[in-house]
């Protein structure tokens, strides 16, 4: 017996080690970890590796900041001037968009839509990965000590990244949207079709469950639908790269994520989302002229001054179609039953979703499209909506029958 053990010692040790690991695999398959749980060996490995990663990343950032902030200042002056002019231009743009957003919120209030506001975010740095080709998880330098919990959404200003799956005290594991276990509620922005975005072992992302007769084309934008209850609705995911007929009558839509998932440095973790009805009180009182402009096409236009104090386009300059669009929006509100299509079509606009210094707007483009798509009228709805007060020009195209009902007046 002793001779056999001695003779086959190496093979016996190999067999024992392999058997032990096979048992461990079987246990993991049989009893997967619950949400928030972490295997002890993972805790040890993370505790051994992440402090070093954090130290290196923070030192690297410190050196980079000092270099860029104090030493390498070439072209800064020119860049500064460029940025100033950009700010001026964007202020004007913002003033216009805020008008659109305000109107969209008023409509949502009337329709009792719930919006999801990103109330709080935490900025984090990506410090590592799993180090394997098959698993695409990322590690960030913020953990439970910073208020991070499993199932929180992780985003960048350009698009969503993934969700938190496991949290330790000083770091967290992120499951990116291109991981094979990932699934995100997604929708095609233009077509308003909802599906599920799945990752694949090779790192590609595919939008599934869109019927093959839908006119999906490369270049169309994909946004979050909010159906997974992790990502707020309307955040950018990516663009359609190709759409081919798949099996079971569904299209096989490959999506290129907007966020650079292969080269991430900083991300935002959404730590608090609040469901609330858009508060029309915040938008200021609705003036009598607003209501009149919607009801009486013949009211002369007053020079519009927007919320930011900037002069808007002269009221008389609005085209009849724009007037129509404004009138159309008021007609949508209470009179129409909130059919599912219309509900889908109106994207709750996270116009000012992020607060705090470390926070960035999640999706600035959502508001205008939401405002536009809320209006069921023809092609004029595609144009950016104008505030009704600024466009009450004579509406000769409006048939007398279209005169709004008094019950359609906004509640205030």
| Residues near another protein, by CB under 8 A | 9-10, 13-14, 17-18, 21-22, 24-25, 28-29, 32, 39, 41-42, 44-46, 48-49, 52-53, 56, 126-139, 165, 173, 175, 179-181, 201-203, 261-264
State the minimum distance, in angstroms, from the CB of residue 44 to another protein: 7
* Minimum CB distance to another protein smaller for 21 or for 82: 21
* Minimum CB distance to another protein smaller for 116 or for 182: 182
State the minimum distance, in angstroms, from the CB of residue 209 to another protein: 18
* Minimum CB distance to another protein smaller for 113 or for 139: 139
State the minimum distance, in angstroms, from the CB of residue 176 to another protein: 9
* Minimum CB distance to another protein smaller for 126 or for 193: 126
Distance, in Å, from the CA atom of 201 to the CA atom of 256, rounded to the nearest integer, reads: 15
Q: Half-sphere exposure of 223 toward its Cβ, with a 13 Å CA cutoff?
A: 27
State the minimum distance, in angstroms, from the CB of residue 45 to another protein: 3
Residue the block writes with tokens 């949400």:
35
State the minimum distance, in angstroms, from the CB of residue 72 to another protein: 20
State the minimum distance, in angstroms, from the CB of residue 124 to another protein: 12
Q: How many residues does the chain have?
A: 412
* Minimum CB distance to another protein smaller for 40 or for 401: 40
* Inter-residue contact 178 to 199 (CB < 8 Å): yes
* Minimum CB distance to another protein smaller for 1 or for 40: 40
Helix (H) or strand (E) holding 195: strand 193-199
Max Cα-Cα span within the chain: 108
φ and ψ at 87, to 5 degrees? -65, -45
* Minimum CB distance to another protein smaller for 111 or for 267: 267
* Minimum CB distance to another protein smaller for 160 or for 216: 160
* Residue 39 DSSP class: -
Output the CA torsion 169→198→367→93 (10° steps): 80
Q: What is the DSSP string of 142-157?
A: --GGGT--TT-EEEET
Distance, in Å, from the CA atom of 292 to the CA atom of 310, rounded to the nearest integer, reads: 23
Q: Which token pair is 262? A: 């292969």
* Inter-residue contact 189 to 221 (CB < 8 Å): yes
**Dihedral sign for Cα atoms in the order 313, 317, 318, 321:** negative
Q: What is the DSSP string of 336-350?
A: S---HHHHHHS----
State the minimum distance, in angstroms, from the CB of residue 3 to another protein: 17
Classify burial at 74, counting beta carbons within 10 Å of its beta carbon; exposed 0-12, middle 13-18, buried 19 or more. Answer: exposed
State the minimum distance, in angstroms, from the CB of residue 262 to another protein: 3
């Amino acid at each position: 017996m002793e001779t056999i053990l001695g003779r086959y010692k190496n093979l016996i040790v190999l067999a024992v080690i392999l058997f032990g690991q096979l048992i461990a695999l079987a246990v993991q398959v049989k009893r997967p970890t619950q949400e928030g749980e972490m295997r002890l060996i993972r805790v040890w490995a993370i505790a051994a590796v992440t402090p070093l990663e954090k130290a290196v990343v923070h030192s690297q950032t410190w050196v980079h900041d000092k270099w860029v902030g104090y030493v390498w200042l070439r072209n800064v002056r020119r860049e500064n001037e460029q940025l100033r002019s950009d700010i001026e231009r964007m202020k004007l743009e913002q003033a216009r968009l805020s008008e659109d957003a305000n109107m969209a919120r008023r409509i949502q209030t009337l329709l009792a839509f719930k919006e999801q506001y990103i109330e709080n975010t935490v900025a984090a740095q990506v410090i590592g990965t799993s180090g394997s080709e098959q698993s695409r998880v990322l590690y960030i330098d913020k953990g439970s000590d910073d208020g991070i919990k499993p199932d929180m959404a992780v985003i960048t200003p350009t698009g969503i990244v993934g969700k938190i799956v496991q949290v330790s005290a000083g770091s967290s594991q992120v499951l990116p949207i291109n991981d094979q276990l990932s699934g995100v509620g997604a929708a095609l922005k233009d077509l308003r079709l909802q599906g599920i975005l799945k990752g694949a072992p090779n790192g590609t992302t595919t939008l599934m469950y869109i019927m093959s007769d839908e006119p999906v084309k490369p270049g169309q934008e994909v946004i979050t639908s909010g159906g997974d209850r992790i990502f707020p609705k309307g955040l950018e995911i990516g663009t359609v790269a190709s759409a081919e007929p798949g099996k079971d009558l569904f299209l096989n839509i490959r999506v290129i994520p907007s966020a650079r998932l292969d080269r991430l440095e900083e991300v935002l973790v959404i730590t608090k989302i609040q469901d609330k009805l858009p508060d029309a009180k915040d938008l200021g009182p609705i003036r009598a002229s607003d209501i009149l402009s919607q009801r009486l096409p013949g009211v002369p236009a007053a020079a519009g001054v927007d919320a930011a104090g900037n002069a808007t386009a002269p009221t008389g300059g609005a085209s009849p179609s724009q007037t129509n669009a404004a009138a159309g929006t008021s007609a949508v509100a209470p009179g129409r039953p909130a059919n599912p299509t219309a509900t889908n079509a109106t994207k709750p606009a996270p116009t000012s979703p992020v607060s705090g210094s470390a926070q960035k707007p999640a999706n600035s483009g959502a508001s205008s499209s939401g405002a536009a798509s809320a209006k069921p009228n023809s092609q004029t709805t595609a144009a950016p909506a104008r505030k009704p007060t600024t466009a009450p020009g004579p509406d000769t195209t409006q048939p007398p029958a279209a005169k709004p009902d008094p019950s359609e007046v906004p509640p205030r």
